[in-house]
Chain A
Amino acid sequence: MSSDLHYKLIVGLEIHVQLCTKSKMFCGCAVEFGQKPNSRVCPVCLGMPGVLPVMNKQAFEYAVLVGLALNCEIAQFTKWDRKSYYYPDLPKNYQISQYDLPLSANGYIEIPLESGKTKNISIIRAHLEEDAGKNLHTAGNFSQVDLNRTGTPLLEIVTEPDMNSAAEVRALAVELQRMVRFLGVSEADMQKGHMRFEPNINLIITRDGTEYRTPIVEIKNLNSFRALERSVDYEQARQLDEFLENGVVMGMGNKTTRGWDDEKEITVLQREKEEAHDYRYFPDPDLVPVKMTPQWLSEIQGRLCELPIKRQLRYVDQYKLSDYDAGVLTADRSTSDLFDEAVKAGAEPKRLCNIITQTGLKIANEKGCSAGDLGLKAQSVANLAGMIEGGTISAGSAGQIFEAMVETGKEPEVLAEELNLIQKSDAGELEAIVDKVLADNPKAVDDVTGGGKKSKKARGFLLGQVMQKSKGQANPKVVSEILVKKLG
């Protein structure tokens, strides 16, 4: 039986972002990755009787800052709740989180689409909570627990199910990473687990004019963009197959949880006890509420910066850069800041963009930092761009000078001299070389003046000879002009 069938993917995302505070959320233990097991742990982390957690002001302000960047309403009154669950990675048997009064809600994030346009994805809420420790299952017939991560501040961000492709889901994740890095509130290092994703996925299937919704699946604990994108793609195909096979649609209590098998690249059903979701939230009596005053809020607002997506759009709009180049420049804040400052210092944007995205990023990659952190002054980079623009140096030698600037810290004008890279643009001096080349190559001269197919090639040959004689320092534009003058 043939049928008219089409479907739409529906995805909402829950994201945990680790905030880069020096100390934990409710105690003074250091937040440091890769330390000896159980070496960053205190009685508060252990949930010892009688301990008193105290909120980290920086963590709270970082969370508010992200809330503002996500265009959320910031709550004037927010409180802490206990989410009860019994698991060895949280020894006090509850996680401190926010239940009914999150610190921010009702916002949106603008994400770039492949078309160059953007899409707004609604944010339901963003709240603070503490991370759990780590269970390790490697050794023998027992598990090991390391509580160093316990109590690390996490921002949980929940979106509306507004995404309709795996590419959009990935774009949101990448945009959020770029945003929190721009704001300086998280290193957002995937390798260190600073960002974790849990997509909720289902399909709206229309068959013969009737609409069906497949049961929602939540995929737990994804920690790379690749796994996120692939798992959403996989679920889309799997749910469609499953629906065609059994026709089961969304209903009460048939939401399931699946894990991602990175090697097989499939999602796997996770067994769950139903009562596991009975978290019995209640206000934490150990922690007092936080009231946001207008002064405090405006102080935090003052720390907002132009968001990366806005910068990217501005570069395309204002400087006519390609969307790709604008994306590369705004991948991190220091590179983007360097670009902005150098433009302010007078650099031609397109020229500057080429220097930074070509040579700058190549060197930065080798050094394992960003192009903005190579220690260059914006003014010096602007001057380098200006030297190409003015014909003092060739675009080709700009890379060499840029590298030398990073190595020596010298100014581009000085290096151009030292490295003999100043282009000869003096017509008189170049004319003498051209005359010599023409005298030495009568055959090529005949070919040029004879016209036809050979003419263009011969002209190129003569130009090449002049460049060679000048040791590459002749300004090719000026040489071409002289050739035209002499040979027509």
Chain B
Amino acid sequence: MTNIPETGRTPRVQIRLVMIQILVLSLLGTLGGRLWYLQIREGEAYAKEASGNHVQQVVDPAPRGSILDARGVALADNETRLVVSASRTELLKMKDDGKAVLTKLAGVLGMKPKEVMEKVRLCDAETPQPCWNGSPYQPIPITDEATAKQALQIRERAEDFPGITAEPQAVRRYAGPGGSNTAQVLGYLSPVTDEEITKAQDTDSPYLRSDQVGRSGLERQYDKALRGKAGVTRYEVDNLGRVIGEAEADPAQPGANLVTSIDARVQRVAEYELNEAMKEARKQWDRNTQEQYKADAGAVVVMEAKTGRVVAMASNPSYDPNAWVGGISAKDYKKLTGKSSNYPLLNRAIQGQAAPGSIFKVVSTAAAVQAGYDFDGRYNCSSAYSVGGQTFKNFESQNHGMINLGRALEVSCDTVYYSLAHNEWKKDGGINPKGKPKDYFYKAAHQFGLGKETGIDLPNEVTGRVPDRQWKQNYWKANKDAWCKTGKKDGDYVEQIAYENCLEGNKMRAGDEINYSIGQGDTLVTPIQMATIYAAISNGGTLYNPTVGKAIISADGKQVTEIKPKAHGKLPVSKQTLAQMDDALEGVATRGTAAWRFGGWPQDKIPMHAKTGTAEVYGKQTTSWFATYTKDYAIVMTISQGGTGSGASGPAVRNIYDALYGVSDDGTINKKNALLYQPQKKLPKIQADGSIDSPKVGKDPAKKQRALQEGTPENNGADGTQQGATVGTPTNENRDTRRRRQGRRRRPRRLT
């Protein structure tokens, strides 16, 4: 049609060319926009991804520090074992999810295929133990007890076992020197969880996927120090994993060693004696329940009186801490957590609580003096004390006439405390006090450190309970609905109690305060609390925070951080009262309720102080308490459903003292036999190469000690008394106090 002369272009072509040009430029504009979006707007995110892409970490795990006893004997250290582990990611790549390989592996290891499969499954809410609660990307240990032959079989036929490795690894070992166990104090480890990794990510001690974390006891309390810091070397790598860039290395810092105040030998003796005492108690007939004592649990604490350091701490039932190493088996886990085993994971020395019974009377005595009663006053130790139609009987309805508070402690006279507590209750205004009641008896308990943690360096300590007005109010609020529903005025015992509680459970009744005054009723204490209190009486009144850890020493021995004893209070008694109580408690050991257990004790050389307690628990057999101290040590033992204080726990505590001081049955002291005549002061030496100077521990110090004590030629007569100790006559003097309600059976007790 019409040619445009200049260019020879028709308008149609010209328009289309412009269209092409615009299109082309907009395409390039799109590229530029997208480039801006990726590089400028999202650039940071991609840069992060890129750095994750090309950096590989090689982790050099830090060896976990050892837990040592006071003399340097390893309670927990590491050993090299052949660990067979399976890579889940590799297994899942197989058609049958690796079942065939695992079955074959089970054959080599002599395990059941089911057992092996259970170990590699991942834990979730529905999966019971055993299961893997670590990272699914980390090799899962199947056994750490492979023999060299089994490891060879697996390694030589690697093609038959894809995803399976058999390598030597350092694993935790709880050596149990001298047959000691120390399970609950040491605690145990288990693999770190994803949650913990995320939580600790930005802290100064982040976890590695392969880390083991302390779950209880010292392993948990001192986890950070023990764990050290894993070495991480970062390599820049290419797409095939070949190293191309410089390495950025963070060398591993081995975990520090924890020196404890535990003495492995004393620990063994304590464990052994506790167990023997419980075994013995089970042979005894309980006339109240008409069956043998169950003695289902017990604990003993041996403490340095002047520092609060724990020399031995045993809890029974116990378990083998090595069961946790390399992943716990289903059977073991069930055993450790089941009711039938009575929860051996619990450290009853700090987590078991019970009514203290008469060992609480030191608190009541202090309270009475605070309230203005003269220590040397005359108080009526009648056979019974009546309040508003209720009769509270003295132990075995004994009548000691007018005695002072010291003698009341010695003979553990309940009625003296009943009347003092009742007087104070009346002074405070009775059931409906006007103004602010003084509550001397409750205040004293708080001042003695009851009702709260002692602050021991072990996790999950429980507080016990002081059943004061505040507690009663809270408790009533929480329970009154249930009480009011089940309570019947004329029902059985439980229903009557519920009825009473419904009406006035929020109020301090006379009976509450009277029961409380002898450590009964709703009072709860832990063995460690009582040990702290009796150690304080011994050391002049300082309540120390008990400690197990004594020092943290770096792996090369160069850095020593001592854990100094710390006090959390003073006993609320004057020096004079303390001295008087000290005398009275010595009297308990020489002529009072505990005297028959310390027959032949060299009292003039090592003054012994003691207090017995037998607490009642509704629906159960009595709890045995025995609290003792010398100038260096305090020992508190308790046995649940074990009988009386001196009866069940007495011999065991005596044997522990014998071992500590090297005292024979006849009362001679042989310091050569003494395990720890004086508390260990010096810290063990750790060499620069990490080796530890520690003495050897015999095969079984407990049995050896018994043999030593008995081995010395027998003296004339059972009461061998060259040492001049006063020996009370067992028959009548053995009196542990107990609360009496009217109409309950009388339980004559004769222990010989």
- The answer to whether A and B assemble together is no
- Which residues of A are interface residues toward B (Cβ below 8 A)? none
